[in-house]
Chains A and B, each alone.
Chain A
Amino acid sequence: MTTRFFGAPVKRNEDRKLLTGQALFVDDVELPDMLHVAFLRSHAAHARIKRIDVSRALQRPGVVAIYTADDYGAYWQPGPLLVPPPPIPGSVFNQRTQVPLAKDKVRHVGEPLAVVVAESRYIAEDALDDIEVDLEPLPAVIDLETALRPGSVLVHDDLGSNVSAHVHQSKGDYRAAAAKAHLVIKRRLAYEHGIASTIETRGVVAHWEARSQHMTIWDTTQAPVFVRNGLAAVLGLGERQVRVIAPFVGGGFGPKIMMFYPEEVALPWISMRLNRPVKWIEDRLEHFFATTHERGQIHDAEIAVTRDGRILGVKDVFLHDGGAYDPYGLTVPINSQCTLLGPYVVPSYDSTFTAVFTNLPIVTPYRGAGRQHGVFVMERLLDLAAHELNIDPAEIRRRNLIPADAFPYKNGIIYQDFSQLEYDSGNYEPVLDQALQVIGYAEFKQEQEKLRAQGRHVGIGIACYVEGTGIGPYEGARVQVQANGKVSVATGIGTQGQGHFTSFAQIVADQLGVDVTDVDIVTGDTDQFYWGAGTFASRGAVVAGNAVNEASRAVRQKALKLASDAFECAEEDLVLADGKISIVGIPEKFLSLGELARRANPMRGAVKPGTEPGLESTQYFGPPSGATANGVHAMIVEVDPDTFDLKILKYVVVHDCGTVINPLILEGQIHGGVAQGIGNAFYEKLVFDDQGQLLNASLADYLLPTALDVPRMELGHTVTPSPLNPMGIKGAGEAGAIPVGPLFAQAIEDALQLKEKSVELLEIPLSPSWIFDLIKASEP
C-alpha cells in the first residue's frame, strides 16, 4: 500500500453538510403525527413521594397521556450496570442503578417523576404545572465525609450506608519507603471536574410502526449498539426489530454514553403504547441535572522522596462523589487511582478509595474520566516536594520519568479495562525537552526577574501526564466497493465531531487506491453495522480505525485476486491506483473497482465454492489492552494582582499519541481538550447548596470558556508507535483536558509568589475570588 492520505492534513468529508445546515441532528427528525414529551422533575434532592395527581393535567387540551412509575408496571426496572467492577481482590461494590421514573423516593434534583405526552412541547410543558405533587422533604446527603459517618441520612435506605464502592490497590511497601525517605509531604487535595455541557443537549425520537412491528430510535448516544441491545431486551423485541440511529451528534465527551437515561427508556415505550412517533429534546436547564456530571474527589495524599527528589512511594486515600446512582461502576475513581502514577517510576503505591452515594446528579465519565483528579494529586505533590528540596519543578519531573528502555512498563495494579496497568510504549524525556524548549523555560526564568522588577506578576507551569486510550473489547467495520466505484464503510461506533468520516476514509483510500472523497462512512446506525461497543476512552481511531484497515486490506486482496483471474496474470504484476487495477507497465489495460465489484456479484455462471460475493469484507479488531499516550503541557501566565484575573501569555502542548492519521483533526482534538481543561481549572464550577440545589444552572452562571478565554496554543508531537495495533495508533481525545488543573495551580503560585506567602493552591477549580480569599486568609 502506498500512503497518500494516512498522516496528511486531509480536509473533512463531513464539513459540507454541517456548513450548509443540511446535517441531520436528532431534533431535526420530523415525522407525521409526532407527539412531544416533557418530564416532570423533582425540585427536591431527597424526598419521599407521597402523591402524584395527574388528573387536572390530563384535562388540558392537547395533552394525550401522562405516565408515572406505577403505569410502567413490569417495565419499571433499574437500569443496567454498564461496567461491572474490575476483579480487584477485596473490593466492595454496591450496585444501585438509576430508575426510569422515581418511585417511593427521589434521590437528586431533576430525577423524573412523571412524563407528559402532548400535541406540542409547549402544551406538554404547560401540563407539567398542572400536575400536583406531594413530596415529603428529607435531609440531603451532600458532603462526602458527613455521608460516611454512622447515623448519616441514607441515599439508599436498604444499603445501611452510603458506600457505593471501596477499593484498595497497592504495590511495593509504602510504609517502608516512607520510613527511609528524606522527606514525606502530606496534603489534602480536592479536585472537582464539571459538566461536559455539549452545545447540543440530549434528545430521543422513537417511532414504533405497528404494521411492520419495527422500532426506530434516533438518540444522541455515543453507544448506539448497546442502546439497541438493551432497549430490545426491555421492550420484549428482537434486536432485529429495533434500529438505533445516532445521526450527527452535537458533542459527546462521555455523558452521552450513559444508559439508560430515563428518557431513553420512556420514549420507545410511549411510542409503542400510543402507536405514534414521539420526540423529547432536553432543554438547557434539564441538561444541568438530568445529564450526568463528573464532580469531586477529596484526596489525603502523601509522597515519600529522596533528598534528590526521587519518588520512593505515594500513599493516597480518597473519597469520590458518585451521585445518587452508580451505573458506570468504578470507571471514574479507578481511572483516578491508576492515572495518578503518571509517567513516573513510583516504586511503592498504596491507594484506597471510597465512592460515596450523595443526593446529587449521577457521576459518569466526562472527557478525562477521573484521570484529571489523579494527575492533579501527583503533579501537586511533586511541586511541593520540588519546593521543599529546592529543585526546579521541571527537573524533579525529569528525574522521575520512566526511562525509554523500560517499556512495556508494568505498573502492578489493575486498570479500568480489567487488565494489568501496563504502558505499552513511550519515550517520555524528549517530550519534556521539547515542551521546555518551545515554551522557552530557561529564557523565561531569566526574563521573569526583569518582569517582576517592573511589577508584573508572571509565572510558568509545567505538567506531565499519561492517558490510557484505545481499550477493548473490540470494534468492527464493513468495507464495500459499490458498482459505481465508490466505497461504502460502516462501523458500529457513534461519532460526535471526531472526524471519523475523514480519518477512516483516509485509511480506506490508501488501501483501495481511491480518493478520500470517494469513501462514504456510516457510523452510529445499528442497521448498517450490527456489532460494536461505542465511542469512549479515546478509542474510536484506535479500535474502529484498525478494524477499518483490516477490512480494507481484505477487500484489496479480493480485488487483486479477481483482477489477476481476469487478466490471467500474477497479483504481483498488478497495480491498484486511481480506482482501478491495471497491469504493471500497461496502464491502458485495466479494470475499474466498480467493474470488479459488478463481476464479484454475477447474475449467471458459477461462483467457486468458498468465494464470498461482492467486493466486501467485514473485519473486527480487539486490542489486548489499552495503548498509553503521554504528553506535557507548559504555560506562562500573567496575573492581575488586584483582581486575580489572568491572561495566558503562552500555552504549549507536546504530545505523543503514536502514529498520526490526520494532524489537522489531531490538532483540533488537542485544542478542544485544552479549552475544556481551562474551563475546568478556572471558570466552571457547579455550585450546590446544602440541600442539593444547583445554584448556577444556566450558561449565564456556569461559565464555559469563550474565544477570549482560550489562548492560541503551540503544539508539538513526538511519535512512539503503539505495538498493540498494526497502525501504531494511540488515542488522543482526552489528552488536552487532563493536566490543565495542576498547570494552572503551579503557574499562578509562581506568578504571585504564593510559596513565599505559604499559600498553596490545592483545589480545582480555581477562581479569582477563591485566590483572593486564600491570600487574605494567609495575611496576618
Chain B
Amino acid sequence: MQPDRHEISVSVNGTAYRRSVESRMLLSDFLRHDLLLAGTHVGCEHGVCGACTILLDGAPIRSCLMLAVQANGHELSTIEGLASDSGELRPVQKAMHEHHGLQCGYCTPGILMTMTAFLKQNPSPSEEQVREALSGNLCRCTGYQHIVDAMMAAAQAMRAAAP
C-alpha cells in the first residue's frame, strides 16, 4: 500500500510552511518531527493528558487528535511562539517560574497553551474556574497548587497591564 500524500499550507507562530504529508500523519507528529517544533509534547495520544495542546486559530486543541491535513489553511500557535521575539516571557510563563508551577516540565507547554486561551476569554477567573480550565491537562509532578497560584497571578498581571 502506497500511502497517499497531500500538500498542506499552515502558519505556525506566524511562519508559513508548505509541506507534503501522509493523510494519516498526526498533527502532533507533523509539528514535532516534520517542522522540528518539539516543544509540543505528546503524553497519551488519546486526547486525555493535554500535553500536546496547541492553539488552532486561537482555540486550544489536542494536536494528537487531529491530522496534519486537517490543519491545512489554519493558523497554529505553539509553545515556541509564546514568548516575545526578544525572548521576553509572557505573564503566564513568568508566573509559572515565579510560583514554581513546573517540575519535570513535560506537561508545561500544553498547560501554557490551554491557559493562554482561557485567560484571554476569562481575564478575572476564580480559583475554581482556573481549576476547571486546568482539569483537562494532567500533571503528575506538582499537585497543581503552584500552577493554580501561577495562573491567578498571571491573570492579575495581565489585568494590570491591560490598557
List chain A positions with a Cβ less than 8 A from chain B: 11-12, 14-23, 25, 27-28, 30, 61, 122, 196-201, 248-253, 283-284, 496-499, 664-665, 667-668, 670-676, 698-700, 704, 706-708, 710, 712-713, 736
Contacts and interface: CB of A to CB of B under 8 A. Distances in A.
A335 B104 CA distance: 26
B142 interface: yes
B22 A122 contact: yes
A19 B89 contact: yes
A19 B96 contact: yes
A30 B32 CA distance: 10
The main secondary structure of chain B at its interface with chain A is loop
13 contacts: A11-B97, A16-B89, A18-B102, A21-B80, A199-B43, A199-B140, A251-B103, A251-B140, A672-B103, A706-B134, A707-B132, A707-B135, A713-B145
B129 to A, nearest CB: 11
Interface string B109-148: 1001000000000000000001110111111111111111
Given A25-B41, A251-B140, A708-B135, A20 B89 contact: yes
A197 B140 contact: yes
Contacts of A27: 32, 38, 42
A502 to B, nearest CB: 10
Interface of B: 2, 22, 24-25, 32-33, 36-46, 48-49, 51, 78-80, 82-83, 89, 93, 96-98, 100, 102-109, 112, 130-132, 134-148
Nearest to A28: B38
A712 B37 CA distance: 35
Contacts of B109: 21
Contacts of B89: 16, 19-20
Contacts of B24: 122
Contact of B139 (A22, A23, A199): A199
A17 B96 CA distance: 12
A672 B102 contact: no
Contacts of A23: 105
Contacts of A704: 138, 140
Contacts of B107: 199, 250
Given A19-B96, A198-B140, A667 B108 contact: no
B155 to A, nearest CB: 15
A674 to B, nearest CB: 6
B36 A30 contact: yes
A18 B98 contact: no
Nearest to B46: A698
Contacts of A201: 43
Contact of A668 (B40, B79, B82, B142): B142
Given A23-B105, A199-B140, A251-B106, A284 B45 contact: yes
A681 to B, nearest CB: 14
Contact of A706 (B41, B43, B138, B142): B138
A22 B138 contact: no
Contacts of B112: 19
A650 to B, nearest CB: 14
Given A672-B140, A708-B131, A710-B145, A498 B103 contact: yes
Contact of B143 (A20, A200, A248, A713): A713
A710 B140 contact: no
A674 B138 contact: no
A305 to B, nearest CB: 35
A14 to B, nearest CB: 7
Contacts of B105: 14-15, 17-19, 23, 248, 250, 497
A673 B144 CA distance: 11
A707 B103 contact: no
Contacts of A249: 104
Contacts of A706: 134-136, 138, 144
B97 A667 contact: no
Given A698-B46, A707-B144, 5 more contacts: A27-B38, A250-B105, A284-B46, A707-B135, A708-B132
Given A22-B39, A199-B51, A699 B44 contact: yes
A51 B41 CA distance: 38
A699 B97 contact: no
Question: Which of B32, B78, B102, B147 gathers the greatest number of chain A CB atoms within 10 Å?
Answer: B102
Nearest to A679: B140
B3 to A, nearest CB: 8
Considering the complex of A and B, which 3 residue pairs feature the smallest CB-CB distances, nearest first? A21-B39, A250-B106, A497-B104
Contacts of B38: 21, 25, 27-28, 30
A21 B40 contact: yes
A667 B146 contact: yes
B141 A30 contact: no
B37 A21 contact: yes
A671 B108 contact: no
Contacts of B102: 12, 15, 18-19, 497
A754 to B, nearest CB: 28
Nearest to A700: B48
A385 to B, nearest CB: 32
Contacts of A61: 2
Nearest to B134: A707
B141 A497 contact: yes
B143 A672 contact: yes
A671 B145 contact: yes
B33 A30 contact: yes
Contacts of B97: 11-12, 15-16, 19
A672 to B, nearest CB: 5
A708 B96 CA distance: 19
Nearest to A669: B103
A690 to B, nearest CB: 26
Nearest to A675: B143
Contacts of B106: 25, 198-200, 248, 250-251
A30 B33 CA distance: 8
Contacts of A197: 140
A253 B80 CA distance: 28
A199 B138 contact: yes
A674 B44 contact: no
B82 A20 contact: yes
A698 B64 CA distance: 15
A667 B149 CA distance: 13
Contacts of A199: 41, 43, 49, 51, 104, 106-107, 138-140
Contacts of A283: 45
A19 B100 contact: no
A665 B146 CA distance: 11
A266 to B, nearest CB: 21
Given A200-B43, A250-B104, A698-B48, A21 B135 contact: no
Question: Which of B2, B32, B38, B141 gathers the greatest number of chain A CB atoms within 10 Å?
Answer: B141
Contacts of A284: 43-46, 49
A20 B83 contact: yes
